[in-house]
């Protein structure tokens, strides 16, 4: 061992629950060589730095120290031709050999993977002069190893050894203690809409304003558009507002705090991205504010997955939904509260079994037995089992575009799983979720994509196109005229179909 450098992390900057990126900005000095060696013996030697970390971990009963070797870096030491001036060539960061491969982990919040790139060393300059081996370590960066979740203190050692110098004497009076900042810098994005709090966005609309907040910053932050266009207005030391320009592109924004920590966020800027509350309240004129807010969020998080990426397609889609559920925008649930006469008129089973129509239908003497009606009316249809299975009532009509029957429920669930994995919607396990805003709307959107209704909508803003979409939603509907009126007079106006011709490209 020829020399060592010791660096200590300030425990006040200890890690959060997740593994943290540790970054050191400071200087490094290693002790000089032993007095007994001649310069001739040092003409060609291999120098190796071993970087180690010792964590003091607290448990309920004790404190224990755990040592982890982070990796090694090898250099070659040489002198000038006459052997009087020592020189050194040291390997760069790309030649660092970690003991364990760097573990991948998701970036914090909306920062891109580049912002947590684990680069062990940057700008490591080592040189020899007057018999001393010294150097400057501009940046040391690594990820906490597995099993280290909470610690009170941490020490990082860089130990230097030189081949052939086993007898050298180490002087320890040059060991430094340096506080290391923990880089937790991340960028949070928040859309500026009618709602004061909105979900974070990375896919944004032309001219949309996005609040950017630097979280976990050391001091103030410098903001910069690294690539792409748009306007970036700094609000204060940790906040800025980004406004996308009138182009479809990718924009990358970088934040750098006073400790040198870097975070990056990437936005995909697209036309016609947002369905706003203002648009939907023109369509669903009796809906509550909460209902409209939930519709906006559900649609905007997933429209690109279901071919609802142009104004024309959206106008056709919402014209159908408006006709199905009405101006309150409450997902529909089929009522089976029929009189005996109504049962015989609507369902073949009760025409064939008129005595059961009297038994289960609504009369002055008793209410309708809706489960019994559903299980008989829909038995052995649309993938349902027999009367005893209970499928008829369980899978009765529900949703913004009404689904009926086990087979149809299952088909839409499969479409959701394929196009929006991880959506959290399970209409097979929770059939009643179709009467909730988000699950009901996502299921209607999945119905739209599964039946390729976007291709019918693309035919245009004509009566024929509306009728074609209607036939895909509810063939034999008794109200085709209402659907045409809802399109021409309401949804086409709300989405400004006559002027809105740009299509949003699907997400990659």
Q: Say whether pLDDT at 18 is over 70.
A: no
Dihedral sign, CA of 312, 314, 320, 325? Answer: negative
Other Cβ atoms less than 10 A from the Cβ of 18: the count is: 12
pLDDT at 3: 39
| Helix segments in 241-369, DSSP class H | 277-283, 289-302, 311-325, 340-346, 348-352, 354-360
pLDDT grade for 476, boundaries at 50, 70 and 90: confident
pLDDT at 9: 37
Which run of H or of E encompasses 450?
A: helix 437-450
What is the per-residue pLDDT across 174-219, written as a single tens digit (0 to 9) for each?
333 333 445 668 898 887 654 434 455 677 777 778 899 998 787 8
What is the per-residue pLDDT across 220-270, written as a single tens digit (0 to 9) for each?
999 999 998 889 999 998 999 998 886 778 899 999 887 677 889 998 887
pTM of the model: 0.55
pLDDT grade for 26, boundaries at 50, 70 and 90: very low
**Average pLDDT of the residues in 81-104:** 40
Which run of H or of E encompasses 68?
A: strand 63-79
Residue 207 or 337, more confident: 337
**Nearest C-alpha neighbor of 461 from the set 320, 315, 324:** 315
CATH 2.60.40.1080, applies to 187-269: yes
Edge-to-edge strands, sheet with 203-205: 203-205, 262-270, 249-257, 221-227
**Average pLDDT of the residues in 99-114:** 32
Residue pair 332/325 in contact by the 8 Å Cβ criterion: yes
Quote the percentage of the chain above a pLDDT of 70: 61
Q: Say whether pLDDT at 374 is over 50.
A: yes
Hey, where are the domains in the chain? 3-183, 187-269, 277-332+398-494, 337-394
pLDDT at 293: 92
Question: What's the rounded Cα separation, in Å, for the pair 507 and 248?
Answer: 12
Residue pair 238/154 in contact by the 8 Å Cβ criterion: no
Question: What's the rounded Cα separation, in Å, for the pair 493 and 496?
Answer: 5
Q: Say whether pLDDT at 366 is over 50.
A: yes
Q: What is the four-CA torsion angle of 390, 395, 398, 403, rounded to 10 degrees? A: -160
CA distances from 247 to 190, 203, 243, 244, 452 (A): 20, 13, 11, 8, 29
**Average pLDDT of the residues in 348-363:** 97
**Fold: same for 187-269 and 277-332+398-494:** no
pLDDT at 216: 79
User: Position of tokens 């038995």?
Assistant: 379
Start-to-end C-alpha separation, the chain: 53
pLDDT at 391: 97
The CATH T-level fold of domain 277-332+398-494 is Lysozyme (1.10.530)
pLDDT at 498: 86
Which run of H or of E encompasses 412?
A: helix 406-419
pLDDT at 270: 73
Q: Say whether pLDDT at 351 is over 70.
A: yes
pLDDT grade for 154, boundaries at 50, 70 and 90: low
Q: What is the four-CA torsion angle of 228, 233, 236, 241, rounded to 10 degrees? A: -70
DSSP designation for 253: E
pLDDT grade for 153, boundaries at 50, 70 and 90: low
């Amino acid at each position: 061992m020829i020399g060592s450098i010791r660096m200590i992390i300030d425990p006040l900057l200890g890690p959060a629950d997740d593994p943290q990126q540790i970054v050191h900005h400071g200087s490094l000095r290693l002790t000089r060589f032993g007095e007994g060696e001649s310069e001739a013996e040092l003409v060609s030697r291999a120098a190796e730095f071993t970087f180690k970390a010792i964590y003091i971990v607290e448990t309920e009963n004790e404190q224990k120290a755990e040592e982890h070797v982070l990796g090694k870096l090898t250099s070659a030491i040489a002198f000038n031709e006459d052997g009087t001036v020592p020189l050194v060539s040291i390997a760069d960061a790309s030649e660092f050999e970690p003991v364990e491969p760097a573990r991948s982990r998701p970036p914090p919040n909306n920062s891109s993977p580049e912002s947590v790139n684990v680069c062990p060393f940057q700008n490591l300059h080592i040189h020899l002069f007057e018999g001393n081996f010294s150097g400057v370590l501009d940046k040391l960066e690594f990820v906490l190893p597995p099993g280290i979740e909470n610690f009170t203190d941490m020490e990082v050692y860089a130990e230097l050894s030189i081949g052939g110098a086993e007898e050298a004497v180490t002087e320890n009076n040059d060991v430094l203690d340096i506080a290391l900042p923990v880089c937790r810098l991340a960028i949070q994005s928040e859309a500026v809409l009618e709602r004061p709090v909105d979900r974070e966005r990375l896919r944004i609309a032309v001219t949309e304003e996005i609040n950017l907040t630097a979280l976990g910053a050391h001091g103030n932050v410098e903001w910069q558009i690294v690539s792409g266009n748009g306007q970036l207005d700094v609000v204060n030391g940790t906040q800025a507002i980004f406004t996308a320009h009138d182009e479809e592109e990718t924009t990358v924004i970088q934040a750098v705090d006073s400790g040198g920590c870097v975070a990056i966020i990437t936005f995909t800027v697209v036309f016609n991205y947002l369905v706003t509350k203002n648009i939907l309240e023109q369509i669903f004129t009796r809906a509550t504010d909460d209902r409209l807010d939930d519709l906006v969020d559900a649609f905007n998080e997933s429209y690109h997955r279901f071919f609802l990426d142009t104004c024309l397609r959206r106008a056709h889609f919402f014209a159908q939904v408006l006709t199905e559920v009405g101006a309150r925008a409450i997902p529909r649930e089929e009522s089976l509260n029929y009189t005996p006469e109504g049962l015989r008129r609507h369902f073949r089973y009760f025409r064939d079994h008129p005595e059961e129509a009297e038994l289960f239908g609504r009369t002055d003497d008793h209410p309708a037995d809706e489960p019994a009606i559903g299980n008989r009316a829909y038995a052995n249809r649309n993938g349902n089992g027999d009367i005893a299975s209970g499928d008829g009532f369980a899978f009765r009509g529900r949703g913004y575009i009404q689904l009926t029957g086990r087979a149809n429920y299952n088909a839409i669930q499969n479409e959701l799983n394929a196009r929006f994995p991880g959506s959290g919607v399970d209409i097979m396990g929770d059939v009643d979720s179709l009467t909730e805003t988000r699950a009901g709307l996502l299921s209607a959107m999945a119905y739209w994509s599964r039946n390729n209704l976007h291709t019918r909508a693309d035919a245009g803003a004509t009566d024929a196109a509306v009728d074609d979409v209607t036939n895909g939603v509810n063939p034999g509907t008794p109200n085709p005229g209402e659907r045409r009126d809802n399109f021409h007079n309401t949804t086409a106006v709300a989405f400004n179909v006559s002027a809105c011709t740009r299509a949003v490209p699907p997400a990659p």
